Structure 1
Amino acid sequence: MGIQESAYDLSVRIAEAVRYLKEEVGEFPLSDKLLDCGVRAGISAREGGFKSAADYVRQADYILEMAAKSGYLSERQSQPIRAECAALLAALEEAERLQQQETGMG
């Protein structure tokens, strides 16, 4: 699976998590920010903006960590999506490194 597809899949998972937070848990104060990060990560990756996509994935992961630590999500609920964030982040950072090498900036 390519980076664009992985980023899209993460965006969908984040949208599902936000829906869960809103419908089942009650409003998590950062739900809208989390959704925004997920969508922007997917769009940035699709457009080849790996650095900005990585930034949005980091932000989403941070918010997911906060949701778990503050009790809005359990560790069990947050762990799979956070692992997905970590895997995508590694792929984005590698793609950014390769992109910089190809353009002579690395």
Structure 2
Amino acid sequence: MLVRADHSNHNESHCVTRAGLAEAVQTRLGLSTTKSIAFVEQVLREIVDTIAAGEDVKLRAFGSFHVRAKKERPGRNPKTGVAAKVTARRVVTFKASRVLHARVNRAAKLAESGRK
């Protein structure tokens, strides 16, 4: 079980933090706190560095992070309506795996059946 931080001012009441991930690693693998934090940081650093290099990251049974290039295009400021140029940039997209989709839907069905 992951430790989730409570963020009462957000739409979602809980989120997983780096500290929560490190605590879960410590509990499940029996590593020290320092080693657990270093492990989580290294995994996240590898993912970020790979994405920053423009490569895709695929995590089996979880999902894939893809880097996509977006071309420059005309746009407008929605508040003022003034035309503006949207510069070319790279964006990261995430596509959940079928396994993750199925697990999320199963959890939603269980939660719904518990409410009735």
Per the TM superposition, whether the score is higher than 0.5 is no
The structure in which a higher percent of residues are helix is: 1
Tell me which structure has the larger Cα radius of gyration. Answer: 2
So what's the TM-score if we normalise by structure 2? 0.26
The structure in which a higher percent of residues are strand is: 2
